[in-house]
Structure 1
């Protein structure tokens, strides 16, 4: 029967003068009928003795074994990864409207005075993480979009300016590059196709400017869809209860192996412990597009790489040639789709970032040695990239979309009373192409590839370098009818 309880049919009994234990116990109980003052002194001595015994039985604070027991997976991950997490301080120039500094009634100012338009600086902070020792950093696009300056702050408080290599607002991902005086600490990219709901998730970032804050939780759900302002929708997101706050954006979400499984991107402002991260597999898929050497160097190369992941480990992958453009320097050098890349410019290649970094650092005019594995041996081929020409750009447009284009002539600029070209003129469309089936006609203008304006063949060639077969691309089209009516819109075409 519980202490203090009694049976419903028993009579109350008087409380005993002293309390005795009623069952066998490994502890010793004492009874006392002494006066309160003497009993209090005895109890004080007993408590002090017990405290001394307990103190001797507990492990010492500096005991290595005790510290080892406290060293949880979260501690291990933070210890090994925090040096690779950075704080990103960005500066934007924004247009603001100012009245007369509150000298007049706000109602009057708003309705009867034309506010002055001024350019002001706006500071924002976010997080990022180094993915390659050569200085490549991943973050969110919304952390750096439309910024004029990006300062990277490392764990040792050193600061360096970063260049934006790629900013993709459609997927909220961005790649930055810093000039590193020495190889930087970096984190490994894991995989997100085998995540388990309930497994531990760890975030490191700079919430509210508090650098290198570590929080831990679990993966709450997978494949979440989230719609933001202006109708932007992201799907396939990881939901986590790991504490994510403003300033965490762009930081890594890690598993207990210290591998990046997601890029922290958003929180629900109307709830607690609901955060979202972009799965790392999406970053892996998009890296070849973001880090396209031909586009960044503005040359014709024709070599496209992709990374295959081993089924057992996210960190031990194989880099293969995914595509070789017809008539390109890569094809002329004898490289073939499916070749496994072993080295680039004498550097061993284990990841796509290894290959990209070596290609970007090499001098392509003198020839880049690319070693591929064939028949158990490494075969080295020298590839010399070439400047993009108008003819090579026009050929790429035909190869990918079945569209022949040319630049506008001076006569056409005068005819339409234009100071600058509005796009490229379509001269022929293959009937069996997506463009032909969608109604693109001779005389139409191609004005954009994706979100980038196209006014010259050289620009067209630079943009088409990163378009892989099977990719659906929004091509901006403008049509001027005989009566002068202008029609324009996007035509979604799948590259061949």
Structure 2
């Protein structure tokens, strides 16, 4: 086990400071008149010079910067310590609460407020704030985290539409073409670096659990501040998500290809499961193409087929696969969703009834699959250990012959199951209903010991 104090000790946040020249011009008499005429308008040759300096990099930055956001997270770390008197007289240990802050960048991929960043930027966060280029901050919900591919999707709860970028393709990227990396590490000022695509399909393996596949390599500088921000081509299309992997590398940066994002978004934006409505479609890509029609689903019964292209939902145009899932937010059980699809050059219309999917019973699934009883963290425990900012579910009981007996103990606080937050029994149920009986699940928990508080990651098999 690794102590939280040991994990975070010595780890700091790199800060970037930007200096500005300030000055004042004091003028009277003739100088004042001269200044009024001299600065009225730049000479024509200066304007022409400015036009020549307006490179594709400048154009990309000005068009896309409003969609690049700062992401700040807070993690509450609890550490208990035994002082001299506590250890001699067996007093209760003292509890110290630390708030660990981290920063990164992200990019808005849909005007409804969906933001993509790195999974490591929001890992174990209890609070996430997104700051836009105008300085306004909004609370963000973690929709999904994919640590295997180091991707996370956030939802900003604010007044939209938000400025967003268009997702491109990595299939037509040219080695040697110009790319631009934009970040927003401070929340007020953007950073921009430019370079070329140095290589494609790079694999980096760090250990058994951390590996990056098929990365874009670039000489555009990528650092922790712009990690999670966009890598853009000169057409202002998102082609990758920057990730700061090799801090010691010179002139080497890496980005997760956007095609990986296209692949994982249908799972990460699984609104049917989260909102408990059933249509039965998995849609992806810039063409909003149907990749799967679940047998027996409303869409299957209506006649929708794989490879159909979704054109409109309830009369509103669908721009891409992401836009389709956003339209599902307005779906209500019992309604009929009108789909217009393109199939073989023809436009077909379908009425797809929306069914209700009952919420899974988190308590029942936890007992059935793991052999544990979960409950909210009691108020007395929160007061005793000063856990005001901690989220999770407490293990009340562990069955004697259950699979969890080897790794879980009563009093443990489960923070995540399968990298998804467990803030309630509802969330536990939504995660466990996806688990195949007999498979192992990854659990992140907090355990209180006499010498401190520990963050533990374990893998627990489920019952068949």
TM-score interval for Structure 1 and Structure 2 normalised by the shorter chain: 0.5 to 0.7
Structure 1 partner of 2:353 = 383
1:88 aligns with 2:57: no
Structure 2 partner of 1:476 = 440
- The equivalences for 1:294-333 within 5 A come to 294-307=272-285, 317-333=286-302
Structure 2 partner of 1:219 = 197
1:367 aligns with 2:336: yes
Asked if structure 2 preserves the Cα contact closer than 8 Å seen for 1:342 and 1:378, the reply is: no
Asked if structure 1 preserves the Cα contact closer than 8 Å seen for 2:146 and 2:419, the reply is: no
Write the distance in 2 (CA, Å) between the matches of 1:195 and 1:74: 17
Larger Rg: 1
Structure 2 partner of 1:25 = none
- The equivalences for 1:260-271 within 5 A come to 260-271=238-249
Deviation at 1:453, TM superposition (A): 11
**Secondary structure of 1:147's partner?**
coil
Asked if structure 2 preserves the Cα contact closer than 8 Å seen for 1:238 and 1:279, the reply is: yes
Write the distance in 2 (CA, Å) between the matches of 1:349 and 1:118: 51
Structure 1 partner of 2:170 = 192
Judged with a 3 Å threshold, the aligned counterparts in structure 2 of structure 1 residues 236 and 473 are, in CA distance, closer, same or farther, namely farther
Structure 1 partner of 2:130 = 152
Deviation at 1:452, TM superposition (A): 7.0
Deviation at 1:156, TM superposition (A): 0.7
1:275 aligns with 2:253: yes
Write the distance in 1 (CA, Å) between the matches of 2:372 and 2:157: 43
Deviation at 1:270, TM superposition (A): 2.2
1:127 aligns with 2:105: yes
1:73 aligns with 2:56: yes
Deviation at 1:233, TM superposition (A): 1.0
Judged with a 3 Å threshold, the aligned counterparts in structure 2 of structure 1 residues 489 and 163 are, in CA distance, closer, same or farther, namely closer
C-alpha deviations, 1:163-221, integer Å up to 9, x for none?
A: 11111111110011113423111111111122222221211103476731111111222
Root-mean-square deviation (CA, aligned residues, Å) is: 4.0
Write the distance in 1 (CA, Å) between the matches of 2:322 and 2:55: 31
Write the distance in 1 (CA, Å) between the matches of 2:365 and 2:147: 30
Write the distance in 2 (CA, Å) between the matches of 1:300 and 1:423: 37
Structure 2 partner of 1:342 = 311
What is the count of residue pairs matched by the alignment? 360
Moved over 3 A (4+): 59-64, 96-100, 113-117, 207-210, 227-231, 388-391, 405-409, 418-425, 448-454, 457-467, 488-491
Deviation at 1:343, TM superposition (A): 0.9
Write the distance in 1 (CA, Å) between the matches of 2:214 and 2:220: 18
- The equivalences for 1:230-269 within 5 A come to 231-269=209-247
Stretch moving more, 181-190 or 320-329: 320-329
Write the distance in 2 (CA, Å) between the matches of 1:217 and 1:453: 37
- With normalisation by structure 2, the TM-score equals 0.67
Write the distance in 2 (CA, Å) between the matches of 1:473 and 1:370: 36
Deviation at 1:99, TM superposition (A): 6.6
Judged with a 3 Å threshold, the aligned counterparts in structure 2 of structure 1 residues 356 and 149 are, in CA distance, closer, same or farther, namely same
Write the distance in 1 (CA, Å) between the matches of 2:229 and 2:60: 14
Write the distance in 2 (CA, Å) between the matches of 1:173 and 1:92: 19
| Unpaired stretches in structure 2, ≥5 consecutive residues | 1-41, 374-395, 404-415, 442-458
Asked if structure 2 preserves the Cα contact closer than 8 Å seen for 1:450 and 1:473, the reply is: no
Write the distance in 2 (CA, Å) between the matches of 1:453 and 1:218: 38
Judged with a 3 Å threshold, the aligned counterparts in structure 2 of structure 1 residues 235 and 143 are, in CA distance, closer, same or farther, namely same
**Secondary structure of 1:69's partner?**
helix
**Secondary structure of 1:196's partner?**
coil
**Secondary structure of 2:126's partner?**
strand
Asked if structure 2 preserves the Cα contact closer than 8 Å seen for 1:188 and 1:260, the reply is: yes
- With normalisation by structure 1, the TM-score equals 0.63
